Structure formats: structure tokens, C-alpha cells
Amino acid sequence: MNRLLMGLKRHKLLSLAAVAIVVVVSVAIFAPFVAPYSPDVQFPNGISDMGSPLPPNHTFPLGTDLLGRDLLSRMIYGARTSLIVGVVANFIAVFIGTSLGLVAGFSRGILGNAIMRFTDLMLAFPALILAIALAAILRPSLWIVILVIALVNWTWVCRVIYTQTTALIEREYIEAVRSLGASPMRIMVRHLIPHLVPTIIVWGTLGIATAVQLEATLSFLGVGVQPPTPSWGNIIFENQSYFSTAPWLVLAPGFAIIVLALSFNVIGDALREMVDPTRKGRT
């Protein structure tokens, strides 16, 4: 009975997370139709007589920002940025991590060792610091941010895939296809990758949460997506100084970041439990 209740609760959280992701994705795709205004228009009536941002009201549902732009519209377009960066950066990271981990685990020897030592080396850098250093020398833009996030996030995927590959190639069926004369390429693509797909999906989901947060943090520090292109992180960066008088400018995008990252984490975690039944009910 207790178990059932727990399952239901879990389900509720999962469906909430799924709904949140669907909402953010559709809002991002249909931004021009959903957003009440353009994200870049500075409304003369969007600024109070004192020159400060307006609190939420009938014309501007979430209020306006420091330049008199509609916050809701900026956040809707910002969802595009956050999702594009999160999904694309993580896709690249998972691709790099999987390829390197697979090759390292399959070939072992000098090549495999070299790859894994390099991975350890990259893991020695704190992700945020390395990302800042990279962004600082490369002049930030949307694509640079995506690249930088991918470059600091592939290491974990590589470690996990490597460990799994080394376990897989000990199996008898691999020995069988090898003795049948299959080429290394064929073994990797046809016989190893299908077994790694669940892991790739789990990391593909959990990694989006990390990438979304990293983008927001870089943008908040001013080395991420550059204004006027809105992103949830740089909305906070731009409006930080109005925080005491206009807290909604920081709280609304902050809440959005947490909800999106939380949703991907909840779903990724549930997927991990499905993939790895030994962990069910624990941790």
C-alpha cells in the first residue's frame, strides 16, 4: 500500500516534470505567437516616472525590465536560448564523450590509456572556471557558449561509457562476432552501441539540466549569451542592480531556470532507475 502511494507520488512528480518540459518547449517553438510583445521593444509606458521598471500589471503580466521591455516576452524568447544551448551543447558533449569512451574502452592499450588520462586531466578543472577561461579567450557568442559547455561537460559521459564498454567487451557474444571476422568499426557500431543506448539516454537527459544551469551561470557572469539576445541568465545579469526595488526581474527567470533543470533531473533520475534496476528503492 505504502509502495503504491509512493509510486503514485513519484508518478505525479514525473508527470509534472514532463508537463513543464512540454510547456517550455512549445513556448520556445511558438515564441512569436505566444509572446504578447516583441522582446526588444522599449515601451515608453514600460518605465515609471522615476525611470524604474514596472511591477506586474494588466498590460505587462510580469512587469517590465530596466529598459522598459516586457519581461514575459523576454522570458519566452529566453526559453529558446536556454533550450537551444542546453540541448545542442549537451548533444555535442554526449557525442564526444560516447565516441571517446567507446574507442578508449574498445582499444585499451596506449590509445585507450591516453584518452582516459586526458579525460582525468579535464576532470581536474572545475567546469565553471574552465568554461570562464575558455569563454574569455574566445569572445562569447551563442555558438561559443554552446561549444564551451560541450567542452567542459563531455568528461563524465566518457568515464561512464568507458567503464561500460570495458565490461561489455568481456562478454562472449563479442568474442563470437570477433571470431566471425567482424571489423572493429562494425563491432562498435552494431554490437556495442545498442547496449550503450540506455546509458546515453540517461546522460542525454541529466546533462541537459547541467547545461541549462551552466548557460544561465555564464550569462549571469556576463561571459555567456550576450544581450540584447535574451536568455534567462542574462535577464538576471542585466537587471541585477534593480533587484532591491524590482525583485520580480530576478525571481521570475530564476524560478524558470530551476523548474526547467529540475524537470530534466527528475526525468533523468527516473530513467536511470529504469535502466539500472539494482538501484531501485535505494539512494
Partner 1 sequence: MLRNYILRRLLQGLFLLMGVTFITFILIYVLPSDPARMIAGRSASAQAVEQIREQLGLNLPLWEQYLRYLWRLLHGDLGRSYIQRVDVSMLIDARLWPTMQLMFASIGFELVIGLTAGVLAALRPRSTLDQGVMFMTFIGVSSPQFVVGIVLLYVFSMKLGWFPMGGYGNWDNIILPALSLGFLGSGWYSRVMRSEMMDALRQDYIRTARAKGAGPIRVILIHALRNAILPVITMIGMDIGYFMSGVVVVESVFGWPGIGQLMWQAIQNVDAPVIMGVTLVAAAAIIIGSLLADILALFVDPRIRLR
List binders of partner 1 among 108-167 (CB under 8 A): 117-118, 120-122, 124-126, 128-130, 132-134, 136-138
- Least CB distance to partner 1 at residue 63 (A): 16
Residue 247 class from Cβ within 10 Å (0-12 exposed, 13-18 middle, 19+ buried)? middle
Within 10 angstroms of residue 146's Cβ, the number of other Cβ atoms is 23
Distant-in-sequence, close-in-space partners of 75: CB < 8 Å, separation ≥ 6: 62, 230, 232, 235, 252, 253, 256
**Residue 2 sits in the site that holds partner 1 (CB under 8 A):** yes
Q: Which is nearer to partner 1, 83 or 209 (CB)?
A: 209
Longest Cα–Cα distance of the chain, Å, equals 81
- Least CB distance to partner 1 at residue 282 (A): 6
Q: Which is nearer to partner 1, 97 or 168 (CB)?
A: 97
User: 3-state class of 70 per DSSP?
Assistant: strand
**CB–CB of 96/150 below 8 Å?**
yes
Question: Using CB under 8 A, which of the segments 85-93, 176-184, 196-204, 251-259 binds partner 1?
Answer: 251-259
Q: Which is nearer to partner 1, 171 or 279 (CB)?
A: 279
**Residue 227 sits in the site that holds partner 1 (CB under 8 A):** no
Q: What's the first-to-final CA gap in the chain, in angstroms?
A: 21
DSSP string, 97-125: HHHHHHHHHHH-HHHHHHHHHHHHHHHTS
**Residue 217 sits in the site that holds partner 1 (CB under 8 A):** yes
- Least CB distance to partner 1 at residue 137 (A): 5
The whole-angstrom separation of Cα 76 and Cα 62 is 11
Binding site residues, partner 1, CB under 8 A: 2-3, 6, 9, 13, 117-118, 120-122, 124-126, 128-130, 132-134, 136-138, 209, 213, 216-217, 220-223, 233, 236, 240, 243-244, 247, 250-251, 254, 257-258, 261-262, 265-266, 269, 282-283
